[in-house]
Structure 1
Amino acid sequence: MANFSKSHVPQFAVDVYQNEYLPEGSGEVDAIVTVTATGGGTVGSAVAAAQPYAPGRGPSAAVAVMVDCSGSMDYPQTKMRNAREATAAAVDTVRDGVHFAVVGGTHVAEEVYPGGGRLAVADATTREQAKQALRRLSAGGGTAIGAWLRLADRLLSSADVSIRHGILLTDGRNEHESPEDLRAALDACAGRFTCDARGVGTDWEVKEVTGIASALLGSADIVADPAGLVSDFTRMMEAAMGKEVADVALRLWTPAGATVRFVKQVAPTVEDLTGRRTEAPPRAGDYPTGSWGDESRDYHVRVAVPPAAVGREMLAARVSLVAPRQDGSVHALGAQGLVRAVWTDDLAASTAISPQVAHYTGQAELARAIQQGLELRKAGDVDGATAKLGRAVQLAGASGNADTAKLLAKVVDVVDAATGTVRLKTKVEEAAEKTLETRSTKTVRVKK
């Protein structure tokens, strides 16, 4: 991990939303932790991309674009052309001074540009060379995504930079290596670079694409029409260019006797971080959040505390943010929030639910209901699918998640959104179903 000047690091703020009042004998505290980074993330703009890299303007970074070149990318033939154009647009968005490479993926991984096991440094010349190399890309062969990721990791790790990021495009299932091979590759790459994953068309596996993004703390989405790849790749690369600090971890300190039940990111998407904890003695654990620019995210934290008598108060958890130094130590990013527990016999106080906690509990249930409903639909369980997707419609409407409500309406006929009364559509476009499944974890922010 390379050091970078203080001017590159955004200012972090932590806000905690909770009802700290518990009834006597109760011992579970819920809180929504909002983390906001400001003052960084400005280097991803088109203006910045056109300017030469200079120390103090942005952190050192490396990006690798992995393009599916398997045989299915020729059906239709426009798909490969769209992928070449999208990758060229992404290369154009890389700002001067950033290290970059393009990988062609089939049942093996090949260096498309610059080759020789190295990265190019972006400027007008190397961008043009990369685009010339992309014209030679053709479709043929199988799909082994783990191999693509391992090559990207080798290339990205060859540069002494602060930010390492990948963009991966696939149009098919990972048929030329075992699920265990892909899992092993993801485990090897986790914490070494972040990666956005995209499925183009409708013949790919949602769980594979979302699993890659989840393991590597990036975004996942569908580009059902290959014509949309250029704008999507441009947006992804702009976002990558806007990252200012990597490997940020949410650190939770708890007092003796308290236990962290779970830590989940709940906005902009639902992502369970509980199992990714690394111990940070004494009595603290770090939960990885990836790279940050100018942005805000919400986390749901649940802590079990020893039950106490009325009138007692305790600090249930202290939340802070840390990032690694080059020497392997970590430094605090200067923001913290407190999760409290106060025992009371005031029934109104102890039974009130924090609006933020209630909202995101509903959003997490919404994601589960969609995923379970679609699984039941595929299995032919009409009644089960109808019940789950009806509940999803009800939750989407109640929480104001209009985008998800629109996607659900392409899979079910909504009779009454308020009660969750729906009928399964007899014919559903594959793209509509895949889009709903892929975007099921996207949430809307709670209104503060």
Structure 2
Amino acid sequence: MANFSKSNVPQFSVEVYQNEFLPAGGRDVNAIVTVTSTGGGTTGGAPVSGRTAGQGPDAAVVLMVDCSGSMDHPPTKMRNARDATAAAIDALREGTRFAVVAGTHVAGDVYPGDGQLATAGPRTKAQAKEALRRLSAGGGTAVGTWLRLAGRLLGAAEVDIRHGILLTDGRNEHESPEDLRAALDSCAGRFTCDARGVGTDWEVKEVTGIASALLGTADIVADPAGLAADFTQMMENAMGKEVADVALRLWTPVGAEVVFVKQVAPTMADLTGRRTGAGPRAGDYPTGSWGDESRDYHVCVRVPEAGIGQEMLAARVSLILPGPSGGAPQTLSQGLVRAVWTDDTAASTSINPQVAHYTGQAELAHVIQQGLDARKSGDFDGATAKLGRAVQLASASGNADTAKLLSKVVDVVDAATGTVRLKARVAEADEMTLETRSTKTVRVKKQ
């Protein structure tokens, strides 16, 4: 484990958990990389230039509120959305740059309304909440236009942290999936974004896809009355971010290749396809913004075959922060992934507990999705088998939250064997909650 700290960023550490022993002919090396950040500007340390002690990093946030016609059914939904956005504005740290966007089939710059960002303070917060009161529902839904406007507003700000919060209650019916994908591609790497679906008339894969592409969180707020508490929590989390654009850099030796890189805690996210080159035999994988938190990543590297008794460095894992104004990047922390070939069968067949745990959590997310898809298509035998396996995995790994969500979709006969019966009637909100939260994982139990 190595770490590196400066006064204006958290202190990062990297720990690598693996079984480095391979049998003769073995090539795939698996490791769980735990990245932890602690401290930073809001929790002590010397103040950053331009800030006073205790003040957080410069940040900008754009709140995107669905104002399409469906937000008026029932009318309390629009009122709850206005109240939730007002609560989020109240949670803004003084000095944070911010804007409010009204989303329909077009994007409206509601506040401050001049193509700029306001600076959070008592006066601007009051003005923004007054602007919210004038919002009404009407029109269609084209989320890509909302995101592009947020990207333009955030892109003009000279700040450390850029973040979006997006609320929708319906399907993205007024632009093509290709338009939304193009908008996400244009915004990726420019800001992070949390996405929320309110009610039950929205598409889970759209909302989770937005959050995944923009390295944020996704969730359902089935009851609009719960929006204010959720928005407040989201904003407080955003205000806790200390450093943006941290990359996980993998260097591999000649002849080795990266099979995949996946975030596995606190949620599942496949980063493999998001690699950008970082010099000879190295690639960077984006991890977004960090506050005081810990995340786990599953790395798989395929190495050349070697003889019994030989060993090699399979990969070097580094946490990289871009340098100011395109300068040299900072290495915040490093860890090593090793490969050792042995004829000791007990050593080479042992599975590291962390690797085994997260392999199970990945399967859990996968079989939940398969089970729900089978249920929707009328394949009830397939749905029972997949959701039964999910119950078994959730029980074995101690994922109590997911087990509880599964129990609203199936009747559990025996969790240990995965014996279940599909419920005859399932509330749509319960099914959508299970699908939305299926990628949430639990950490490895401490031995």
Q: TM-score range by the shorter chain?
A: over 0.9
Residues 41, 433 of structure 1: CA spacing in aligned structure 2 closer, same or farther, 3 A cutoff?
A: farther
Could you tell me which runs of 5 or more consecutive residues in structure 2 were left unpaired when the two chains were aligned.
Answer: 44-49
Aligned to 2:341: 343
Deviation at 1:40, TM superposition (A): 2.4
Work out whether residues 320 and 332 of structure 1, in 8 Å CA contact, stay in contact via their aligned partners in 2: no
Matched residue type, 1:144: A
Deviation at 1:55, TM superposition (A): 7.2
Work out whether residues 8 and 56 of structure 1, in 8 Å CA contact, stay in contact via their aligned partners in 2: no
Matched residue type, 2:126: E
Work out whether residues 94 and 237 of structure 1, in 8 Å CA contact, stay in contact via their aligned partners in 2: yes
Residues 190, 101 of structure 1: CA spacing in aligned structure 2 closer, same or farther, 3 A cutoff?
A: same
Provide the secondary structure at the position in 2 that maps to 1:327: helix
Matched residue type, 2:335: G
Work out whether residues 53 and 97 of structure 1, in 8 Å CA contact, stay in contact via their aligned partners in 2: no
Quote the Cα distance in structure 1 between the aligned partners of 2:41 and 2:426: 40
Quote the Cα distance in structure 2 between the aligned partners of 1:237 and 1:83: 14
1:372 aligned onto 2:370: yes
Aligned to 1:48: none
Quote the Cα distance in structure 1 between the aligned partners of 2:9 and 2:291: 9
Aligned to 2:186: 188
Aligned to 1:446: 444
Quote the Cα distance in structure 1 between the aligned partners of 2:179 and 2:332: 40
Work out whether residues 67 and 78 of structure 2, in 8 Å CA contact, stay in contact via their aligned partners in 1: yes
Quote the Cα distance in structure 1 between the aligned partners of 2:105 and 2:358: 41
Residues 33, 163 of structure 1: CA spacing in aligned structure 2 closer, same or farther, 3 A cutoff?
A: same
Deviations 1:290-319 (A, max 9, x none): 000000000000000111111101000000
Aligned to 1:221: 219
1:256 aligned onto 2:261: no
1:231 aligned onto 2:226: no
1:27 aligned onto 2:45: no
Deviations 1:52-84 (A, max 9, x none): 964772211100000000011111111111100
Work out whether residues 323 and 330 of structure 2, in 8 Å CA contact, stay in contact via their aligned partners in 1: no
1:156 aligned onto 2:154: yes
What is the TM-score normalised by the length of structure 1? 0.96
Quote the Cα distance in structure 1 between the aligned partners of 2:330 and 2:272: 21
1:205 aligned onto 2:209: no
Matched residue type, 1:23: P
Quote the Cα distance in structure 2 between the aligned partners of 1:127 and 1:447: 44
Quote the Cα distance in structure 1 between the aligned partners of 2:409 and 2:442: 20
Matched residue type, 2:30: D
Residues 292, 387 of structure 1: CA spacing in aligned structure 2 closer, same or farther, 3 A cutoff?
A: same
Aligned to 1:437: 435
Quote the Cα distance in structure 1 between the aligned partners of 2:52 and 2:130: 27
Work out whether residues 42 and 54 of structure 2, in 8 Å CA contact, stay in contact via their aligned partners in 1: no
Deviation at 1:403, TM superposition (A): 0.2
User: Displaced runs of 4+ in structure 1, greater than 4 A?
Assistant: none
Deviation at 1:31, TM superposition (A): 0.2
- Summarize the alignment of residues 32-181 of structure 1 with structure 2, pairs less than 5 Å apart: 32-40=32-40, 42=42, 54=52, 57-181=55-179
What is the TM-score normalised by the length of structure 2? 0.96
Aligned to 2:13: 13
Work out whether residues 41 and 54 of structure 2, in 8 Å CA contact, stay in contact via their aligned partners in 1: no
Provide the secondary structure at the position in 2 that maps to 1:281: coil
Deviation at 1:331, TM superposition (A): 1.7
Provide the secondary structure at the position in 2 that maps to 1:338: strand
Query: Percent identity of the aligned residues?
Result: 78
Deviation at 1:7, TM superposition (A): 2.2
Quote the Cα distance in structure 2 between the aligned partners of 1:204 and 1:53: 41
RMSD: 1.4
Could you tell me which runs of 5 or more consecutive residues in structure 1 were left unpaired when the two chains were aligned.
Answer: 44-51
Residues 305, 8 of structure 1: CA spacing in aligned structure 2 closer, same or farther, 3 A cutoff?
A: same
Of 281, 290, 293, the match for 1:292:
290
Deviation at 1:112, TM superposition (A): 1.0
Quote the Cα distance in structure 2 between the aligned partners of 1:401 and 1:35: 21
Deviations 1:347-375 (A, max 9, x none): 11111000000000000000000001000
- Summarize the alignment of residues 327-342 of structure 1 with structure 2, pairs less than 5 Å apart: 327-342=325-340
1:410 aligned onto 2:403: no
Matched residue type, 2:303: V
Provide the secondary structure at the position in 2 that maps to 1:10: strand
Deviation at 1:329, TM superposition (A): 3.9
Quote the Cα distance in structure 1 between the aligned partners of 2:373 and 2:64: 29
Matched residue type, 2:31: A
Matched residue type, 1:99: R
Matched residue type, 1:426: A
Deviation at 1:428, TM superposition (A): 0.2
Quote the Cα distance in structure 1 between the aligned partners of 2:20 and 2:32: 12
Quote the Cα distance in structure 1 between the aligned partners of 2:297 and 2:40: 21
Matched residue type, 1:26: G
Aligned to 1:265: 263
Aligned to 1:46: none
Work out whether residues 7 and 41 of structure 2, in 8 Å CA contact, stay in contact via their aligned partners in 1: no
Deviates more, 1:18-27 or 1:329-338: 329-338
Deviation at 1:15, TM superposition (A): 0.1
Deviations 1:382-440 (A, max 9, x none): 11111110000000000000000000000011111111111111100000000000000
Work out whether residues 168 and 196 of structure 2, in 8 Å CA contact, stay in contact via their aligned partners in 1: yes
Work out whether residues 96 and 122 of structure 1, in 8 Å CA contact, stay in contact via their aligned partners in 2: yes
Work out whether residues 27 and 303 of structure 2, in 8 Å CA contact, stay in contact via their aligned partners in 1: yes
Aligned to 1:47: none
Matched residue type, 1:30: N
